[in-house]
Chains A and B, each alone.
Chain A
């Protein structure tokens, strides 16, 4: 019995439908038409149009010639060559790609570079003047707030954005508002310790 992958699962499901006693006709044809239709659409010639995207990244103007389907994350990494921003899921589920866009922390994987034409982006490479470290970067080192280091750029950019928002005061609030940044090594307590230290310093200034 030969068919495209997905159809087989349809048969499997038919077994389940029978159990329910519901008569449903699983229309393989509908599915097949859909697939055919889809490929026709996407292959329509002349559709691929690249365009100029201007960004200001870490204070530097960057002109990129990009196809519309390039995410801001891939534009930063593959086109602007700044690989400090990390891809951990590409679906907004981990926070590793967090950058500061026009003053706000966002996940750069879930937006298109073309949508951010004209925006100012700060990545981990630009959070402190060259040769200097941001207080959060220092605190992360001191508190051992990372192990593998992969989530770190996102954690730091996110914490900078969070402190700018000014909504998190208590440790519990910081934990909640930093929960969009996963850490698989389990450096969580050290990360929050580092952030609280900088936040408390700022509060005293």
Chain B
């Protein structure tokens, strides 16, 4: 290890911690400027149809209410779908707020009241009269499952591959195998519900310029969206989002409060804050309900012979949102015969939207529950069954993994959990009046990298400043990027400043899919490397330079100095280099592009193994996840403290998905019924017990120069099936619908 490798790998506390614990970190709704106007959104209360009459007169008559915007008086805007498409838009026609009289889904925004205070705007919304003509609608996936069709293909498909082609002869192999398991799974709708309400503050700067504080996972995504729709120059639109109060995918696409805030600010030539309320947080993207069927077979030695996985997901009538649900099993298990199918059903809902571990958390529940059943069928320990079917390669694409330490995840996780204390029979373990169950499952998630750019500047005081447009949605991006930059230049953390969350800074894609560290971290690294090169070339040209005969390979960067490797008494400080540069800062700008040629020979993925203990009250069905361990192989871990928190967060999301959260739909009314945090149950502190994380060492020189794979998603995927499997082990009951209600165990 090089002496300069000091920060990467350290459990550094979050650098913005002090701002967050003192309430000084500002989120998009926290910017108060003189004359700020408040917008309150009016939403459709029917599911489908047309607005036949709108009367805003009574609202507008109230003193203090400035304007009411509807489709009737909105400004003329961009025409083409492409202009409304953002970086995460699926194939189809993106939803356009206040477009016309058509109502496409329940809760659709149909108006914006702008007033001098929040209270007046909210009051005004109750005074607007809306009459509608209602049309027949359908929101029930199960009822419409027979209408499932193949998804359309578009740009988004690149990051979301369709199912692999069938292999072998599934039907024949399945029928001829001695052990067969088939099951059907149903997952309902879920909403991201970050704790922060979606808010956009548009500061009207005059001369056609806007500064926008937006809740987003991509400042440049919001900037492009606004510029394209409202016909503004990119340089005149600046989107700033340093603090994002959770997102989990919900802010991957610009949401309607951004559109409405900007529209109102431009029309009124004043600054406008539009904040959605919690009910309105259920009126845009969501995790789609999904039906799955699996049929897996094995020989009696446990070798999986055939796998069929079908998923039918929900989408809207206007876009084909897809997820990768059925591709995972064959990436893990080398069956010779496979049939993977993925279909969509159009319903009268808003387009679904990526939600933490999209597709993976859905598919892996079905896959790993089916594997668990196969274990019982073949009388093989569930962990053993995974090891029997372990594959070093990605058989689905016939290529090796860039790295895969899943076996170590299984072994280390099992060891720490005490898996060997599990007695194989269901209902065979108990503690007082509770049945105890052990369950395990495998997790997998892709390790992608996208292009990104970063600036690195050595400032006149000899400090390093690195710039990127990327956001930090709570993942620890600021801290991790600072660590990467510090190490690259051989500097102390306190001498490095990472500036981010601003569309004026160098390009970064939307933050999601567990690809931020690999994407932006790589850009920071190459920018740092370029800066080193530049510093060295200046140092070399200095008068009587100690490096006159050396090249870059012969020096090390440490303690804000460049040392000659062969003679460490010879060195130049960064401040001396600045001086040699005429006292001017030294700046480089660098694009990082994934080495596709190298990468495409390999499959790149993170892996995990989750081990769960549940207690189920035998009489009352109440379930508690009393203990869970997730062992993760995710390449290099830059910051074990923040990475551990990411995994813990994912595990708690897994507990929530398995046992708590669900959006309740009333299909007669075509709407969601629990649009609040009292009845949309996310876990409370009392729900969460002992959780542990193991990072398995994994070296990967292919995935990217940092060897990182991302940890945002992998903590979640294995938990729901591990919990369902533990509940089966405890009770002998297999519940394939999530969340598992305790009363289904009575």
Contacts and interface: CB of A to CB of B under 8 A. Distances in A.
B193 interface: yes
A19 to B, nearest CB: 11
Interface string B663-688: 00000110000001110001111111
Given A3-B131, A5-B130, A84 B684 contact: no
A184 B278 contact: no
Contact of A185 (B24, B118, B246): B246
A52 interface: no
Interface stretch (A21-29, A67-75, A197-205): A67-75
B648 A187 contact: yes
Contacts of B26: 83
Given A3-B131, A150-B27, A90 B278 contact: yes
Most buried by B among A13, A94, A172: A94
A150 B194 contact: yes
B127 A39 contact: yes
Contacts of A192: 685, 688
A175 B17 CA distance: 23
B41 interface: no
B648 A182 contact: no
A84 B24 contact: yes
Interface stretch (B409-417, B435-443, B469-477): B469-477
A70 B277 CA distance: 16
Contacts of B245: 86, 148-150
Interface string B7-43: 0000001101111111111110110100000000000
Given A16-B668, A150-B194, A83 B23 contact: yes
Contact of B132 (A5, A86, A123): A5
Contact of B14 (A2, A125, A144, A151): A144
B13 A185 contact: no
Contacts of A147: 246, 474-476, 645-646, 649
Interface size, A (range) = 35 or more
Contacts of B646: 147
B244 A191 contact: no
Contact of B45 (A6, A174, A175, A188): A6
Interface of B is mostly: loop
A161 interface: no
Nearest to A181: B685
A20 interface: no
B278 A4 contact: no
A88 B197 contact: yes
A108 interface: no
Contacts of A83: 23, 26, 29-30, 32
Given A78-B117, A186-B649, A88 B195 contact: yes
B45 A94 contact: no
Interface in A118-172: 123-125, 128, 133, 137, 140-142, 144, 146-153, 156, 172
Given A148-B195, A186-B649, A179 B685 contact: yes
A30 interface: no
B196 A175 contact: no
B53 interface: yes
A81 interface: yes
Given A1-B134, A133-B21, A8 B46 contact: yes
A151 B131 CA distance: 39
Contact of B17 (A39, A82, A128, A140): A140
A13 to B, nearest CB: 8
A132 to B, nearest CB: 10
Interface string B221-250: 000000000000000000000011111100
A-B complex: 4 closest residue pairs judged by Cβ atoms: A84-B23, A148-B474, A150-B245, A186-B649
Interface of B: 13-14, 16-27, 29-30, 32, 44-46, 49, 52-53, 58, 62, 117-119, 123, 126-127, 129-134, 193-197, 243-248, 275, 277-278, 473-476, 641-642, 644-646, 648-653, 668-669, 676-678, 682-688, 691
19 contacts: A2-B53, A2-B131, A5-B132, A8-B46, A16-B668, A42-B123, A83-B29, A83-B30, A93-B676, A137-B18, A140-B17, A142-B13, A148-B244, A149-B20, A178-B685, A179-B685, A184-B248, A188-B652, A189-B691
Interface of A: 1-6, 8-9, 12-13, 15-16, 39, 42-43, 67, 69-70, 74, 77-78, 81-91, 93-94, 96, 123-125, 128, 133, 137, 140-142, 144, 146-153, 156, 172, 174-176, 178-192
Given A83-B29, A150-B195, 19 more contacts: A2-B53, A3-B132, A4-B131, A6-B45, A69-B123, A86-B196, A89-B677, A94-B677, A124-B22, A128-B22, A137-B18, A144-B641, A147-B475, A152-B20, A179-B684, A182-B682, A189-B648, A189-B688, A190-B645
